[in-house]
Every structure is written in C-alpha cells, then in structure tokens.
C-alpha cells in the first residue's frame, strides 16, 4: 500500500542517515521495520495485566508543558514511586519509576503522549503479571 505522511525534514534526514548506517536496503524497508517495532511494543503494553513495575521515560520542551506535566504526574502518584529529571538545553529528559496496576501505567503513558511538546515516550516493563 502506498501512503504519505507529514514528517519534519530534520527527522526524515536523521531517519535516512540511520537506516543507511544500519545497512538497510531502502527507506520503505526501514519504515516497515520501525512500524513493526512500534506495534510490538504497543501490543506488549496493551496485553499486560495485573501489577507491573515499569520505567516510563520521556523528553519534552520544558517551557511549553511543565505545568501540565506536573499536573498529570500528580494524578498518577498512586503508581509513580519516584522521578528523575535532567535539563539538556531547551529539552528535558524525565524518567518515572512506577509500580501498580498495568492499566494505570498504560493510562499514564498515553496521557504523556497526548502533549504536543512531548517528543517521545518509552515504557519499559521490568516485571509484569507473568513474572
């Protein structure tokens, strides 16, 4: 299937550099691989139930969203055990160490993704209901 996307030029340039450095034969194959990885990570988060221990990491432009992010973190303090924050120029990197119901951690992850100033959110499940 052919499709089109609106992607910032600098992201396309970086993506092209990476897939070429990795020796992938073309952009289409690289996009398919990236999409597969996204689907797999999303499915694992969706399929997990019960109590989990997780690390949620995200980066964002501090001045554009800090109040809203703090508000969201307060709403999920039942699962956020601690946080770590560092500044890198106009960007911040934050990590949330979480323990609690998988549904709440999933909700938190999706809420963080809703902010335009948040560039990316990664969730690593350290332990899930399956052990």
* Shared domain check, 66 and 33: no
Of 45 and 80, the structure prediction assigns the larger pLDDT to 80
Query: Does residue 129 carry a pLDDT above 80?
Result: no
Does 131 reside within a domain? no
Does 89 reside within a domain? yes
* Shared domain check, 64 and 30: no
| Residue of 54, 94, 93, 90 whose CA lies nearest to 73 | 94
Query: Does residue 131 carry a pLDDT above 70?
Result: no
What integer best gives the mean pLDDT of the chain? 90
- What CATH number is given to the structural domain containing 83? 3.30.70.1150
* Shared domain check, 13 and 76: no
Q: What is the pLDDT of residues 89-119, one digit of tens each?
A: 889 999 999 999 999 999 999 999 999 999 9
Does 129 reside within a domain? no
| Number of domains comprising the chain | 2
Mean pLDDT over 26-52 rounds to: 86
* Shared domain check, 13 and 31: yes
Rounded Cα distance, 129 and 48, in Å: 7
- Structural domain that includes position 21: 7-42
């Amino acid at each position: 299937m052919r499709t089109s996307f609106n992607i910032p030029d600098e992201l396309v340039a970086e993506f092209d550099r990476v897939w070429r450095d990795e020796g992938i034969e073309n952009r289409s194959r690289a996009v398919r691989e990236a999409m597969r990885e996204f689907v797999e990570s999303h499915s694992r988060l969706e399929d997990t139930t019960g109590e989990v221990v997780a690390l949620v990491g995200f980066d964002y432009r501090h001045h554009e969203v800090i109040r809203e992010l703090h508000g969201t973190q307060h709403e999920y303090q039942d699962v956020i055990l601690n946080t770590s924050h560092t500044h890198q120029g106009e960007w911040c990197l934050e990590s949330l160490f979480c323990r609690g119901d998988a549904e709440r951690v999933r909700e938190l992850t999706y809420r963080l993704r809703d902010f335009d100033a948040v560039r990316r959110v990664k969730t690593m499940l350290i332990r899930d209901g399956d052990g």
